[in-house]
Amino acid sequence: MKPFSALSLLREGLSGQRGWKPQWRNPEPKSYYDAIIVGGGGHGLGTAYYLAREHGLTNVAVLEKGWIGGGNTGRNTTIIRSNYLFAESAALYDHALKLWEGLSQALNYNMMFSQRGVLMLAHTVHDMQVSQRHVHANRAAGVDNEWLTPQEARAFCPPLKIDDIRYPVLGAALQRRGGTARHDAVAWGYARGADALGVDIIENCEVTGIRLGPAGAVEGVLTTRGPIRTQRLGVVAAGHSSVIMKMAGVALPLESYPLQALVSEPVKPVFPCVVMSNTIHAYISQSDKGELVIGAGTDAYTSYTQRGALYVPSHALEAICELFPMFRRLRMLRNWGGIVDVSPDRSPIIGKTPVPGLYVNCGWGTGGFKATPGSAHLFAWTIAHNEPHPINAPFTLERFRDGNLIDEAAAAAVAH
Amino acid sequence: MLLIECPYCGERPEPEFVYGGQAHIARPSHPAEVSVEEWTAFLYLRDNTRGVHAERWRHTHGCGRFFNALRDTTTDRFLATYRVGERPPQPPGGWS
């Protein structure tokens, strides 16, 4: 792997950009791997990278049904934050945030990580109580979060209209370390890093079955490109986790819903931060390309179609136009859906399963992108040690049986 | 937006309805007597089917009644709707 540097940019600039090589190989699948990761999104590619980098497992394959980063990694609104209510969640998401802070350097790949601040608005007395509870809980857990008055919120985000609207802004919680990153770069950066360490990234390779031995342990997978043997199988298939795990006879407490997002036509830099309003349901930031990136809600019903009803993004746009009247004349360019795997307590499941050699990382629901490096790092640790890392130890599959839910559903009250 | 056929009112637009999750999940009649695993399955485990899915809907902004539907989750096409208490009809292409 040729490292990127100012010098290499200059050299290629002078020679017409003709010297760049593919950033990762396109290998044929081998008959055996020490570990196989199912799902070539950010979480899966990152898992393979950390398996190779930190645990010395380099005979590893990532199997991807389509192309890498083509699922939810390429479909989210790129928001990164760690201001979750419960200590377990705050530790998990802040682990990810700390990795984000050094990720461009670690991977020698520009993640365009921008800590521009995430502003979460409060519009009702209940919102204010919940938000301030979050602020206090986060500060007690060592995660930055601060409370702003409506005037301070407007000073931080000048386009914001705080009064003369249906739900005036009564205050806001601000996490200054939060922000955005380039979603594609996350997949590509991890793919390039993993490939350089010997990981095979195999695209257009759909897993069609999981082979179990006489003792019930994983022996391999069946794929559209032939059978592959392995003793360690990590499933990171987001919306399709239930489908894959069913092949090994494991039922999951998940339901898959379409989650929609949309972008506007590109405009000059006008929007300095990320703004989220859970109550009137709007998520907005501006990409470096100039498009407003807007998150809408999930559709009402389970689906695998990667699309949804138009009234769902329309609802988000009504809220955006109310909060930011200057965007009323903007045109929307594209909208799309991704299939998110929602767990009963809106917290992820990262750990072992009843099948020996089978590990699962799922249930990230509507908020998985922000966790990508942390999720990948902890899942690799779990696979390498055959036991969960202390940070993901509370996020087991068994917590539903044992009643130890980490109920961010009640805490966040909406998609997050 | 989906057009949904309420078995009592006929075809209506999706915002009149509320989705009620997987259908035909029976609550154990004696919860204290079932195992922890069975209770966990009742509370939390779902088929999350990719294909023909039997599910509950409620015509909240209409007749207010619950009913069941077969819908293909790979196309969102409704194959049938039927009243509570009825057995699910055989889907045209079979169960997937």
Tell me the chain B residues in contact with residue A342 when contact means C-beta distances shorter than 8 Å.
none
| B21/A252 Cβ within 8 A | no
Q: Enumerate chain A positions whose Cβ falls within 8 A of a Cβ in B.
A: 240, 242-243, 251-256, 300-305, 309-311, 344, 400-401
| B21/A309 Cβ within 8 A | no
Test mutation, B43, B44, B47, B72, chain A, max A CBs within 10 A: B44
Question: pTM here?
Answer: 0.96
Nearest CA in chain B to A240: B50
Nearest CA in chain A to B20: A301
From the CA of B90, how many Å to the nearest CA of chain A? 20
Rounded to a whole number of angstroms, the distance between the first and last alpha carbons of chain A is 37
Residues 6+ apart with CB under 8 A from B71: A301, B52, B53, B55, B77, B78, B79
A389-399 as b/e: b if 16+ CB within 10 A? bebbebbbbeb
The span from the CA of A325 to the CA of A161, in Å, is: 8
pLDDT given at position B96: 65
pLDDT given at position A415: 47
Report H helices in A70-165: 87-107, 125-140, 150-156
Nearest CA in chain B to A241: B48
Chain A and chain B share a number of CB contacts under 8 A equal to 62
Q: Degrees (nearest 5) of the Cα angle A290, A295, A301?
A: 150
Nearest CA in chain B to A250: B45
From the CA of A400, how many Å to the nearest CA of chain B? 7
List, in sequence order, every residue forming a beta bridge with A122; answer none if it has no partner: A171
ipTM above 0.90, yes or no: yes
Interface residue B96 vs chain A (CB under 8 A): no
Of chain B residues 13-72, which have a CB less than 8 A from chain A? 14-15, 17-19, 21, 36-37, 40-41, 43-50, 53, 55, 71
- Give the pair of three-digit tokens for residue A133: 């509870």
pLDDT digit of tens for each residue in chain B (96 aa)? 899 999 999 999 999 999 999 999 999 999 999 999 999 999 999 999 999 999 999 999 999 999 999 999 999 999 999 999 999 999 887 776
Do A379 and A236 meet the contact criterion of CB atoms below 8 Å apart?
yes
Interface residue B95 vs chain A (CB under 8 A): no
Tell me the chain B residues in contact with residue A253 when contact means C-beta distances shorter than 8 Å.
44-46
pLDDT given at position A413: 46
pLDDT given at position A29: 98
CA distances from A389 to A253, A352, A381, A384, A398 (A): 22, 11, 6, 10, 15
| B73/A302 Cβ within 8 A | yes
| B48/A242 Cβ within 8 A | yes
Nearest CA in chain A to B75: A305
| A344/B44 Cβ within 8 A | yes
| B73/A304 Cβ within 8 A | yes
Identity of the amino acid at A293: V
Do A317 and A349 meet the contact criterion of CB atoms below 8 Å apart?
no
| B75/A305 Cβ within 8 A | yes
Provide φ and ψ at A415, rounded to 5°: -55, 140
Tell me the chain B residues in contact with residue A305 when contact means C-beta distances shorter than 8 Å.
73-76
Nearest CA in chain A to B52: A303
CA distances from A364 to A125, A256, A281, B82 (A): 29, 11, 19, 33
Which of A91, A1, A42, A14 is closest to A373 using CA atoms? A42
CA distances from B82 to B19, B65, B87 (A): 15, 12, 8
Residues 6+ apart with CB under 8 A from A343: A253, A254, A349, A362, A363, A365
Tell me the chain A residues in contact with residue B42 when contact means C-beta distances shorter than 8 Å.
none
Largest CA distance in chain A: 68
pLDDT digit of tens for each residue in chain A (416 aa)? 788 999 999 999 999 999 999 999 999 999 999 999 999 999 999 999 999 999 999 999 999 999 999 999 999 999 999 999 999 999 999 999 999 999 999 999 999 999 999 999 999 999 999 999 999 999 999 999 999 999 999 999 999 999 999 999 999 999 999 999 999 999 999 999 999 999 999 999 999 999 999 999 999 999 999 999 999 999 999 999 999 999 999 999 999 999 999 999 999 999 999 999 999 988 999 999 999 999 999 999 999 999 999 999 999 999 999 999 999 999 999 999 999 999 999 999 999 999 999 999 999 999 999 999 999 999 999 999 999 999 999 999 999 999 999 999 765 545 44
From the CA of B2, how many Å to the nearest CA of chain A? 7
Nearest CA in chain A to B71: A303
